[in-house]
Chains A and B, each alone.
Chain A
Amino acid sequence: MTSALATVPCSACGRALSLETEGLAWCSCGKASRVWRFRPVREAARPPAPVLAGTPCAYHAGNAASTTCLRCGSFVCNLCATPVGGSTYCTACFERLHASGELRELRVRIPRPQSWALALSLIAMVPYVALVAAPIVVWLGVRAIRNRHETTAREDGLFAYLAIAGLLTTLGLVLTGILLFELVTGPGGRP
């Protein structure tokens, strides 16, 4: 695996640049690069998983189990064991968790309900629309707050979004309230 990385392409011209030595490497295009070489964690270097005293794998009866699935507890061999973020699952559980989006390590799309809340709060400024939009804005806001650990780790401004959305929705509700009050009591508060 390391031999595959004996050279890397030069970022300027694409020619092979040696990774054999650390420090400054000069490419034939005249560009210099600072180079660091790492030692990848290879499967071979890891300690072998303990064999569970002749227990067969739940999916491959001919293979000895090396570990258990964290979710369902079934014995699995090295072929079936799927390591994800420090935990090991069997193939079936991995597929199930992956499909349901429960594996945080594999999530690649983090929703931003705060954007929808802000957009909807702008629409809520239209009279009477706030009556429908406000509960949805609140629901989106709650979702955004529940999901805040995912978003605030990656971007700022979540609470600014929510504050503006809340302010606009409140404004829309107040406006709608005034219009409804005038509708019920007549202009100038006289029925």
Chain B
Amino acid sequence: MKGTKVGRRAQVNQRFTILLFDDRLEEVSPTFSSLEVRRFFFDEAGGATVQARARWPHVLAWGIVTFFLVSITWALMLDVSSRPAGIFFAVFLAIALVPLGLSIFTAPHLMALHAPDDRLEFDLPRWPPRRERAIRLVLEAVARRQGRPAPAPGPTQAP
């Protein structure tokens, strides 16, 4: 059975993909020779929290990228030999502004599953419908494992 990707987590030099299976979450980290898997079973999970993370680091990073792209395009426009600079300007600006806009309007969210002696934290997808779907799938899997109806998804966004 194929796991459903519900999030990801990054360390200094390692990236983890969070996969949801029927009865567990798996934190998968690919290396050259193997897939390192850490399993988190829901039996002992006592609660879950979802929190919005600060969006300013991403906004700042994309702001800097936009500034550099605009500067390059401005320099191109000053050069009389490069006539189609207007097109460059439009394309570069669009390339830079789309991620900037996305980073402003879609805040990263952190989901944490808490068990008495274990804790799993991961970043949910940024796009709100995908994020809500991931939360719903995890809550349903926990409820299935713990044998009770799934809790309501609650407010759709943490302010």
User: A residues engaging B (CB < 8 A)?
Assistant: 1-2, 4-5, 8, 10-12, 17, 19, 22-25, 31-41, 105, 107-112, 115-116, 151-155
Contact flags B18-38 to A (C-beta < 8 A → 1, else 0): 010100001010111111111
List the B side residues contacting A33 at CB < 8 Å.
49-51, 158
With both chains docked as a complex, state the minimum distance between the C-beta of B21 and any C-beta of chain A, in angstroms. Answer: 8
Contacts of A41 in B (CB 8 A): 43-44, 145-147
Give the docked Cα–Cα distance between A39 and B151 (Å).
Answer: 11
Interface membership of B114, Cβ < 8 A:
yes
Verify B49–A17 contact, CB threshold 8 A: yes
- The chain A residue with its CB closest to the CB of B28 is A154
B49 touches A34 (CB 8 A): yes
CB of B47 within 8 A of CB of A155, answer no
Minimum Cβ distance to chain A for residue B80 (Å): 48
Complex formed: what's the CA distance from A131 to B43 in Å? 52
Which residues of B sit under 8 angstroms from A108, Cβ to Cβ?
36-39
- Of A34, A105, A111, the residue contacting B155 (CB under 8 A) is A34
Q: Tell me what chain B mostly uses at the interface: helix, strand, loop, or mixed.
A: mixed
CB-based contact A34/B46 at 8 Å: no
State in angstroms the CA–CA spacing of A19 and B28 once bound together.
28
CB atoms of A109 and B35 under 8 A apart: yes
A-B contact pairs, 29 of them (CB 8 A): A1-B44, A2-B46, A4-B46, A5-B114, A11-B53, A12-B51, A17-B49, A19-B46, A31-B51, A32-B52, A32-B159, A34-B50, A34-B155, A35-B47, A35-B49, A36-B48, A40-B146, A41-B147, A108-B36, A108-B38, A110-B34, A110-B35, A110-B37, A112-B30, A112-B31, A112-B32, A115-B33, A153-B3, A154-B26
